[in-house]
Structure formats: C-alpha cells, structure tokens
Amino acid sequence: MHKVDIDLVEMTLDVMKYAINRITKTTPELGKPKKEEELKRLVGETITPDGIGGEKAFQLFKDVLIKATVPIDHPRHLAFVPASPTRASVMFDLVTSASNIHGAYWMEGAGGIFCENEAMKWLVSLTGLPEKAFGVFTSGGTAANLSAMVTAREYWRKNKEGSSGKGLVITSSGAHSSIKAMAKVIDVDVVLIETEDRMTGNHLQQKIDFLNQDQRKRLFAVIATGGTTNAGIIDDLDGIGEICQKQKLWFHVDAAYGGGALAADSVRHLFKGIEQADSITIDPHKWLFSPYDCGAVIYRNPQLAKEAHSQEGSYLDIFNDEDAEGFNPSDYQIQLTRRVRGLPLWFSLAMYGTDKYKWAIERGIELANLAADIIGEYPNLELVRPPSLSCILYRRKGWGPEDYKKWTYKNLSEGFALVTPTKYTVNGIYETVARFCFINPDTTLEDITAILDTMK
C-alpha cells in the first residue's frame, strides 16, 4: 500500500491536474446534494476487500460525488458564513498534507509550528492584546470557544473560594450556538441577555444585579460576540470588558466570524475593548481566507491555558521534558494530535502580504454596503437593519417563511446560488428574512443583482 510504483506516480499526477484545475477556477460548479440512496446507486460499492482502484474511485468522485457538494468559495454562495480560501492557501494545504507533520509538540513539528506561530503573531497583533498574549490554531470556532471556556472555568476553580460547584456564564441570545453547546459539554449554566442586537455594558450590569446569590457565586465568565453570525453585530466590548475587570470575571470574545475585520481600518474602531479580553476566538477559515478547518484561540495569559489543557502520560513525558524546549500547541487547546492547520494561512500571508488581506476583507464590507444600496432600488425589497460588517438582512415584502424556503431551493436546484433565509426579531416579531454574508472578494455586483432579480 505504501510502495511507490508507476501507477501511483500517474495517479498523483492525475490528482495534481485536478487540483490545479480547481485552484485556478474562479467560479466552480455549484453542485447540489443528492439523497444517499441515489448516490449509492450511482457509485455502487466503493469499499471492498480488494479495493476498486484509485482510478475508478477518483473518477466516481469527479463524475458524481463532487457534483453533490456546494463549493464554499462559489461567488454566489452567500449563506452561513461562507468561505473563500486563497489560491495560495489551498495549494499549501496540499503541501501540508504531503509533509505529514505532527503539530502537537515542538519536538516533532518545530518547522511547521514555527510557521503557524509566525501567522499567529500577526493575528495577535490585530487584537491589541499585550505582548505576552498568544494563541493556537484549532479545528474551528467551536473548539476555540470550548478551549477558552475550559481555561476560564479551570482558572475560576483554582482561584475562587467556593467554586467547586457548577459554573455559570453570561452571554447574549445573539451569541453563536456553539457557546450554548460547549457550555453543555463542560456542564455550566448559561444566563442569556435577551438581545440579538448589541449587548452593552449596561445590559450586562443589569443582568449581574439581577442574579441571585447562588448564581452570582457561580458566575465566572462573560462571553461577548465580535460580529454575530446572523447579523454581523459587534457587542459593546469596551463596556463589557470594563465590567468584567471590575467584577473579576473572565472576558471571552467570540470573534470567530468578525475577527478578520480587525485587519480592516474602516471598522477596526468598532472592536474597541477587545484588548481587554482574557481570550478571543478568531476563525481563519471564515474571514481570513484559510481552507477548512482552521480556527484560533488567543489568550491574554497563555500560561493559564497551559495549566488547563496540558495532557500528561508516561509516553508524553519526553515531549514535555525541559530539554525539549519549544512551543507545544497541544498544551493550549483541547486536541492532542493535530494537523498544522495554520500552515496554509502562514504560506498565504507570506506570499501575498497582509495588505492584500486588508483589501480582501474591506471588499466584503464594501459588498455588503453596495448590496444595501442595490436593495434600495427594488420596490419589493427593503433592509431589515443597516449592514453590519459583511452581513445584511433584508425582506421581500409580502413573503412568508415558505416563500423564502422555495426561493432557496429553486436557486440551489438550478445550480445558480446558495442564499438562505434566517430569522430576526423586528419590533418584537421573530420574522423570517433574507440574509447575505459576503466573504469572497470575487463576488460581483452582477452576482448580487442577479440574485435579487430572483425575488421579483
């Protein structure tokens, strides 16, 4: 299986040809999902005792399976938080795989971890955190949030009297679902500030004042959002940070989506206060144009993360030995064995320079503002709220949830676009509305107009 023969060389060339083709394509085909039974019928048995051969498996992948996927970098994919990995980062993802680097410990992965750390230094510099702040790349925002919450909880346990019970965190209803999901994982309660709009310091103070004695004793962290997923709203990080400092609460900022915009001069001021955070999540696989999967968690005091996450085991002792000096990424987040997933970001940053990143991020913000202007020209469309970061919410007058659903499915089934509805509270009503999130700088005004035309 591991022997290199002529067939393997040919297969590798075939795979490379495919990769080159895909990397250089700006508008990949927008595939559509198929039912599992249909895919099974089309490809048959692929896992067999003798193997079906690389050529056949690859052909099935190209002819059938890839066509049942929606490429995240399609310029008319404006749903979720889409993605748009740079060509350089995708190319270097291949190199990352081919290099087989273990990214847990410096002793094994020094060269790769060095590159990750160079990219991380730039990321940390965007946050305004003090010099000794540092972070690691994770599998995504969920893992980054979890790693930060574990660190916060462990710090609380060690430093607060009477902290042996169940912990409690405060966040807003605009926070990402992963915050509530990860709170479940670590078994802490979540008290929600009921606002999808900007959570402010006043909101937080009122909520803290409202807690009963037991809850106040269990409260150890506040989680603010630096760019809500639904609407791009940035909480009052300054006001919230100040209260956290006064009340000695861990301050986490989930900037998984919005964090890339720290590099954009036009909106950087909106993040004022992020420099007070104890930990920050930023997902390079969202607005820093990295391939999946690449999140990041940054700590004001990385030593606290190390105390919470370092794994011990006799077979690991040698990697933690004093003589094996160097930075061990596995000490700072939940995962042990890890891919050096920051490597594609490093290469891309090194190749293009950080100014290109600034430009591409500013373009996403500009596209949201331009789309808002274009929406104003359609009599049957109206904005639900002004654009925020690269998100806009708007409504098609007269449409209900079913209409939005049909619109999504029609555009997808025609291989035209992936645009989806969401819900947002307007004047106390939880309304179904349309949402665009712009990441891909290759999205054009023609793309936007063509999508809006499908709502006539």
Kindly state the smallest distance separating residue 142's Cβ from ligand PLP, in Å: 3
Kindly state the smallest distance separating residue 271's Cβ from ligand PLP, in Å: 13
Q: Decide: 409 and 33 in contact? Cβ < 8 Å.
A: no
Q: Decide: 294 and 137 in contact? Cβ < 8 Å.
A: yes
Kindly state the smallest distance separating residue 85's Cβ from ligand PLP, in Å: 14
Q: Pull the structure tokens for residue 303.
A: 């030593």
Q: How far apart are CA 257 and CA 251, in angstroms?
A: 18
* 295 vs 441 by CB, closer to ligand PLP: 295
* 340 vs 455 by CB, closer to ligand PLP: 340
Task: Quickly list DSSP for 392-440.
Answer: EEEEETT--HHHHHHHHHHHHHTTS-B-EEEEEEETTEEEEEEEEE---
Q: Pull the structure tokens for residue 151.
A: 């660190």
Kindly state the smallest distance separating residue 230's Cβ from ligand PLP, in Å: 9
Judged by phi (left if over 0) then psi (alpha if -120 to 50, else beta), residue 56 lies in alpha
Instruction: Give bridge partners of residue 226 from the DSSP assignment.
Output: 234
Kindly state the smallest distance separating residue 281's Cβ from ligand PLP, in Å: 6
Work out the burial of residue 69: count CB atoms within 10 Å of its CB; fewer than 13 is exposed, 13-18 middle, 19 or more buried: middle
Kindly state the smallest distance separating residue 159's Cβ from ligand PLP, in Å: 27
Number of Cβ within 10 Å of residue 247's Cβ equals 14
Task: Quickly list DSSP for 346-382.
Answer: HHHHHHH-HHHHHHHHHHHHHHHHHHHHHHHT-TTEE
Kindly state the smallest distance separating residue 274's Cβ from ligand PLP, in Å: 14
Q: Pull the structure tokens for residue 213.
A: 């004695």
* 140 vs 167 by CB, closer to ligand PLP: 140
* 291 vs 452 by CB, closer to ligand PLP: 291
* 256 vs 305 by CB, closer to ligand PLP: 256
Judged by phi (left if over 0) then psi (alpha if -120 to 50, else beta), residue 428 lies in left
* 140 vs 239 by CB, closer to ligand PLP: 140
Show the beta-strand stretches assigned E in 180-218.
Answer: 189-193
Q: Sheet containing 420-426: which strands, arranged edge to edge?
A: 381-388, 391-396, 429-437, 420-426
Q: Pull the structure tokens for residue 407.
A: 């619109």
Kindly state the smallest distance separating residue 17's Cβ from ligand PLP, in Å: 31
Kindly state the smallest distance separating residue 154's Cβ from ligand PLP, in Å: 21
* 43 vs 340 by CB, closer to ligand PLP: 340
Q: Decide: 283 and 229 in contact? Cβ < 8 Å.
A: no
Residues 6+ apart with CB under 8 A from 374: 445, 448, 449, 452
Kindly state the smallest distance separating residue 63's Cβ from ligand PLP, in Å: 30
Binding site for ligand PLP (CB under 6 A): 81, 140-142, 145, 176, 178, 225, 229, 254, 256-257, 283, 295
Instruction: Give bridge partners of residue 417 from the DSSP assignment.
Output: none
* 137 vs 220 by CB, closer to ligand PLP: 137
* 196 vs 254 by CB, closer to ligand PLP: 254
User: Helix 354-376 and helix 445-453: axis angle, to 10°?
Assistant: 30
* 91 vs 256 by CB, closer to ligand PLP: 256
Phi–psi pair at 248, nearest 5 degrees: 55, 50
* 172 vs 229 by CB, closer to ligand PLP: 229
Kindly state the smallest distance separating residue 316's Cβ from ligand PLP, in Å: 26
* 225 vs 335 by CB, closer to ligand PLP: 225
Phi–psi pair at 89, nearest 5 degrees: -70, -35
Kindly state the smallest distance separating residue 388's Cβ from ligand PLP, in Å: 13
User: How far does Cα 396 stand from its chain's mean position?
Assistant: 29
